[in-house]
Chain A
Amino acid sequence: MSAVNASLIHAIPLSSQVINLCAAIMLLLGFAMLAQRRVLTLINLFMLQGLVLFISTLIVALTTSQSHLLWSAGLTLLLKVIALPLILHRLIRRLSVKWDIETLLNIPTIMLIGIALVVIAFNVAQPISQLSGTITRATIGIALACVLLAFLMMITRSKAVPQVIAFLAMENGLFFAATSATYGMPMVVELGIALDVMVGMVILGVFFFQIRQQFDSLDIRHMERNKEQ
C-alpha cells in the first residue's frame, strides 16, 4: 500500500489504514510460512495469521457496524486463534514431530514464485476492487495472494502436518477475501464453513496416526505406491 501518495493518506480514515496494515501483515505471514521449515514455528505463524484476521474482521465490524461480522470475528478467534492451534500443538506433541525440520529445497526460488503469484493476484483482483464499495476493497488482491501462497506452500511441502497448515492458511485467505470484498458471507454459510474446517481437522488428526503407523513417517514422499503403471 506504499503506492498511496502522501496527500491521499489524510483522505483515508484510520480504520482503513489499520485494515490495510493488517492485510500487509497477512501477506508477510504468508511469505514467512512459505519459507518456514520448523513445524512448531509454522503453527505459531498460523496462529498469528488467525489473530491478524480476527483484528481486521473486528475493525471492519466496528467501523461498518455490521453486527454479523462481530460473530464471525468471534468465530475466527475461537477457531483459528485458539482451537486449531491447540489441536495442532497437541498433535505434534503426540506424534513427537515437535522439533521436526523439513528440508526445503530452493527457498529463494519458491519466494520468487511467490512474488510472481502476488503480482498475478493483484492483476486478477483489480476489476473486483474497482467495483467494490467496501472500505476494505484495497485488500482483495492481498487476500487472493494469501490463497495462492498457501496453495504454493501445499505443493512444495512433502510432510503431512505442514500440508494441513497450508490448507488451513488457504481457508484464512478465503475468509479474508470474503470479509474484504463483501463484509463476509451470510451467517449460515460461515457457520457451515467453520464446521467443515473443524470436522476436517478432527479427521486429519486421526489420519496422521494412521499414516505414521503405516509408513513410519509423516513424509508423503514415502507413499507414492499408487503410481501409474
Chain B
Amino acid sequence: MIELVLVLVTPFATALLLALFGHRRGAAEINSAGSLLTLLAAALLTIRVINDGPMVLYDEQFFVDPLNVFLIALTALVGFTTSLFSRPYMRVEHDHDRLSVNRLRLYHSMFQMFMCTMLVALSTNNLGILWVAMEMATLTTVLLVALYRTPASLEAAWKYFILCGVGIAQALFGTILIYFAAERILGHESGALLWTHLDAVKSQLEPTVLSLAFVFLFVGYGTKTGLVPLHNWLPDAHAEGPTPVSAVLSGLLLNVALYAIIRCKVLVDGALGTHFAGNLMIAFGLLTVVVPAFYLARQKDVKRLFGYSSIEHMGLITFAFGMGGPVASFAGLLHMTVHSLTKSAIFFAVGHAAQMAGTQIIDDIKGLIKQSPTIGWGLMLGSLAILGMPPFGVFTSEFMILTTAIKHYPWATPILLMALGVAFAAMFQKVQSMVFGEPTVRPLAHNPALLPVFVHLGLVLMLGLWIPPYLADWYRQAAKLIG
C-alpha cells in the first residue's frame, strides 16, 4: 500500500524541504508541487479503494474506509487549490511588506505540516494518535494564525491556543476513558485504542463509561469544530490569519474535528444502544445554527462574517449527524463536502478582494464586479451557493436535512428555517454591497489565481445536480456506518 505512505510522507517531506530552503525563490512553487503530489497520491489511494474496498494497514495502525477516503481526497484537493491560490496572494502580501521572506518560509513549511497532521488524523486507526494529530494540527495553525505578528493576530492565536488547548485536553480525558472501557475487554496490549477493534466489540463496552467519555470527547473535539458556546476562537482566528489559512481552517480542519466526533459517536451508539450521543449533537447543533445567524448581521470584517457562517454550517452538519439515519447522515456527509469546497472558494475570492481594497472592513469594499468581474462573480456565486440557493450542492444537502427534520423532529424545522433565513438576509445584503456599486478597490499587482474558485464552485454545482455513483455509494456506506 504505497499510496497511503505517499499521501502521508509527501506533505511531511515538503514541509521539511520548505523549512530548509523556503527562503529561496520558488518556495510557493515547491508548495504547490508538494500539494499536487499529495493530491495525486490521494487520487491513487481513492482508485485503490474503489477497486479493492476498505482496508486496514501497517500493523492495523492505519485504515481506509468509505467514511474517511472521501475526506482524504477532499483534504488533498482543497490543500492543492489553496496552495495555487496562496502563490499570488502571498506575493502581494510580501510586496506590501506585511511578510518577510522568513515568515513566508514559516508559512509554507507550516502549511504542509498542517496538511500532514490532518491526513494522519483522518487515516489513523488509533484514537490516541487521532488525538495527537489533532493537537499537532492546533499547534501548526497557531503559528499560521499568528503569522502577521500584529497585536490582533497574536491575540487571536493566543485565544485559539488556550481555548482549543483546554478543549482538546477534555478530548484526551475522553480518549483515556474509552481506553479504560476497552481494556477490560480487549486487554492491555492488543491495541485497545484501535478503532476497528473497538468497533468489533462496541456492544460489550461499559455504557456508563462510554457515555461519560462521549461527553468529554464531544466537548473537546466540539471546541475545535467551533460548536457554540466554545466557538469564540473561530472568527478571530479566521479574520487575523492569512486568507489561505482561513480557507483551510474552515474548509478542512473543522471537517476533521467533526470526523473525530463521528468516529466516537459510532462507538458510543453501539455501546449504549440509545440515542444519547445523537440527542447531545442535535441540541448543540441547533444552538450552533441559531446563535451565529444573529451574529452575522453585526459583523464589520468580511473574514469574520464568513467565519461565523462556517460555525453555522458546522452546527447544521452536527445536527444532521445527530438525527442519524440513512438520509440525514448522507446529507451530513454531502454537506461536509460542499461546505468545504464552497467556503474555501469564498475565502479565495475574499482574500483577493481584501487585497484590492487594502482592508477587510466590509463597508470599505465596494464595486468588486466593475474592477474585477471574476472576483466579483466568484464572491457572489460562492455566497449564493453557501446560502443554499439551488442548483448548488448546499441546497441539496440542506433540503435533505430539513426534510428529515420535518419527519423526525418537526419542532426543530421552524428554528432551522428561521436561522437560515436570518443568515440569508444578513449575508446577502453585505455581499451585495461589496460586489456592486461604485468601485473603491484597485486592481492587483499580480494576476490572481481564480481558477480554484471556479473549479470549486463547478464541483459544488455538479454535486447539486449529479453525484458520481461511487461517491454516492461511499456516502451511503458511511451513512450506514454512522447509523
B299 at the interface (CB under 8 A from A): yes
- Residue in contact with A193 in the complex, picked from B132, B150, B180, B184, CB distance below 8 Å: B132
Bound complex: CA A179 to CA B26 (Å) = 49
CB–CB A228/B298 < 8 A: yes
Of the candidate stretches A7-15, A32-40, A97-105, A195-203, the one touching chain B is: A195-203
CB–CB A223/B172 < 8 A: no
Q: Is the interface of A mostly helix, strand, loop or mixed?
A: helix
Given contacts A171-B169, A189-B126, A195-B132, whether A210 and B180 have CB atoms under 8 Å apart is no
Chain A 208-228, CB-CB to B under 8 Å as 1, else 0, gives 001100110000100111101
Bound complex: CA A154 to CA B186 (Å) = 36
Chain B 172-192, CB-CB to A under 8 Å as 1, else 0, gives 110111011001100010011
B208 at the interface (CB under 8 A from A): yes
CB–CB A128/B209 < 8 A: yes
Name the CB-closest residue of A to B298.
A229
Bound complex: CA A185 to CA B208 (Å) = 20
CB–CB A181/B177 < 8 A: yes
Given contacts A185-B176, A200-B139, whether A207 and B158 have CB atoms under 8 Å apart is yes
Given contacts A131-B184, A195-B132, whether A170 and B166 have CB atoms under 8 Å apart is yes
A174 at the interface (CB under 8 A from B): yes
Residues of B within 8 A of A133 (CB): 184
Residues of A within 8 A of B155 (CB): 223-226
B161 at the interface (CB under 8 A from A): yes
CB–CB B236/A211 < 8 A: no
Smallest CB–CB gap between A109 and chain B, Å? 21
A87 at the interface (CB under 8 A from B): no
Bound complex: CA A185 to CA B169 (Å) = 15
CB–CB B128/A189 < 8 A: yes
Residues of A within 8 A of B151 (CB): 214-215, 223, 225
Bound complex: CA A182 to CA B295 (Å) = 44
- Residue in contact with B300 in the complex, picked from A147, A200, A223, A229, CB distance below 8 Å: A229
Residues of B within 8 A of A192 (CB): 128-129, 131-132
Bound complex: CA A127 to CA B322 (Å) = 26
Name the CB-closest residue of A to B162.
A163
A204 at the interface (CB under 8 A from B): yes
Smallest CB–CB gap between A37 and chain B, Å? 20
CB–CB B152/A226 < 8 A: yes
Residues of A within 8 A of B146 (CB): 207, 210
CB–CB A226/B173 < 8 A: no
Smallest CB–CB gap between A200 and chain B, Å? 6
Residues of B within 8 A of A210 (CB): 146, 149, 154
Bound complex: CA A229 to CA B304 (Å) = 11
Residues of B within 8 A of A220 (CB): 158
Bound complex: CA A227 to CA B241 (Å) = 16
CB–CB A167/B177 < 8 A: no
Residues of A within 8 A of B158 (CB): 160, 207, 211, 220, 223
CB–CB A204/B161 < 8 A: yes
Smallest CB–CB gap between A102 and chain B, Å? 16
Given contacts A182-B176, A185-B128, whether A167 and B299 have CB atoms under 8 Å apart is no
CB–CB A167/B165 < 8 A: yes
Residues of A within 8 A of B300 (CB): 229
Residues of B within 8 A of A170 (CB): 166, 169
Going nearest first, the 4 A-B pairs with the smallest beta carbon separation are A189-B128, A192-B132, A223-B155, A196-B135
A residues adjacent to B (C-beta < 8 A): 66, 124, 127-128, 131-133, 144, 147, 151, 154, 160, 163, 167, 170-171, 174, 177-178, 181-183, 185-186, 188-189, 192-193, 195-196, 199-200, 203-204, 207, 210-211, 214-215, 220, 223-226, 228-229
